[in-house]
């Protein structure tokens, strides 16, 4: 009887240890990459966002819009040919803008042993075009926008179905094209300036 109890206990312990050591499926790993990217983007944590980029993109500087937004130079004001830019206000407004981004997994599976795949997400985000329009309305005589006049709660929101390509690289899953995904996260397709002209 004691031997049977010992054997049963050993089997249970073995199953627990096996489950704890089990590696997440490729689909779960890829989902963690996509969702980690969107969470970092919504918090403007660009240094964290970059860990989900492929190696060739991580090694480039400022390859993603606002990628240097966490550097100390982004505090206070900055002199440009068009006048003085209040960078602190600009970053605060953008943080509020991006904080509403949400991504929800819809479909897509990656087979064991596959090196790339596609996941589909429903992405809810504020409209970058609406943001740019509201920003343009606050431009003063100095040619610079007044960020204090922007009502962040009044931004239009959009819901887009986004197909996200991922690939395995050095044992982890990364985004195939983060530049394009960054723009899609904001509902921007194509050249944003041309789109703005059509509004």
Per-residue pLDDT tens for 2-41? 555 555 555 655 555 444 545 789 999 999 999 999 999 9
Looking at the chain, how many residues does it have?
199
Predicted pLDDT of residue 110: 95
pLDDT recorded at residue 198 = 42
pLDDT of residue 108: 96
* Exposed / middle / buried, residue 54 (Cβ in 10 Å: 0-12, 13-18, 19+): middle
Binned at pLDDT 50, 70 and 90, residue 173 comes out as very high
Q: What is the mean pLDDT of the chain?
A: 77
Provide mean pLDDT across the span 135-162.
Answer: 83
- 9-18, 118-127, 178-187: range with highest mean pLDDT: 118-127
Judged against a pLDDT cut of 70, whether residue 130 lies above it is answered with yes
Place of tokens 């206990």: 9
Q: Does 106 score more than 70 pLDDT?
A: yes
Backbone φ, ψ for residue 59 (5° rounding): -80, -10
Strand partners, 23: none
Q: What is the pTM of this model?
A: 0.71
Query: Which pLDDT score is estimated for 81?
Result: 46
Lookup: tokens for 156: 């239009």
- For 155-185, the DSSP string reads --EEEEEEEEEEEEETTEEEES-HHHHHHHH
Q: Is the pLDDT of residue 118 over 60?
A: yes
Q: What is the pLDDT of residue 191?
A: 44
What percentage of the chain exceeds 70 in pLDDT?
69
Q: Count helices and strands (H / E) in the chain.
A: 8, 6
């Amino acid at each position: 009887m004691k031997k049977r109890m010992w054997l049963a206990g050993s089997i249970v312990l073995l199953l627990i240890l096996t489950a704890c050591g089990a590696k997440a499926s490729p689909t779960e790993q890829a989902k963690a990459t996509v969702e980690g990217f969107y969470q970092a983007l919504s918090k403007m944590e660009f240094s964290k966002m970059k860990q989900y980029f492929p190696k060739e993109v991580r090694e480039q500087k400022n390859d993603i819009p606002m990628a240097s937004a966490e550097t100390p130079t982004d505090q206070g004001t900055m002199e440009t040919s068009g006048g003085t830019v209040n960078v602190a206000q600009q970053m605060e407004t953008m943080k509020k803008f991006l904080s509403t981004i949400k991504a929800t997994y819809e479909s897509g599976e990656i087979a064991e042993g596959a090196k790339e795949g596609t996941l589909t997400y429903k992405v809810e985000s504020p409209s970058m075009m609406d943001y740019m329009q509201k920003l343009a309305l606050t431009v003063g005589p100095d040619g610079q926008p007044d960020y204090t006049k922007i009502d962040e709660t009044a931004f239009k929101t959009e819901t887009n179905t986004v197909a996200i390509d991922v690939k395995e690289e050095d044992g982890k899953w990364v985004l195939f094209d983060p530049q394009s995904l960054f723009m899609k996260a904001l509902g921007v397709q194509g050249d944003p300036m041309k789109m703005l002209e059509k509004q």
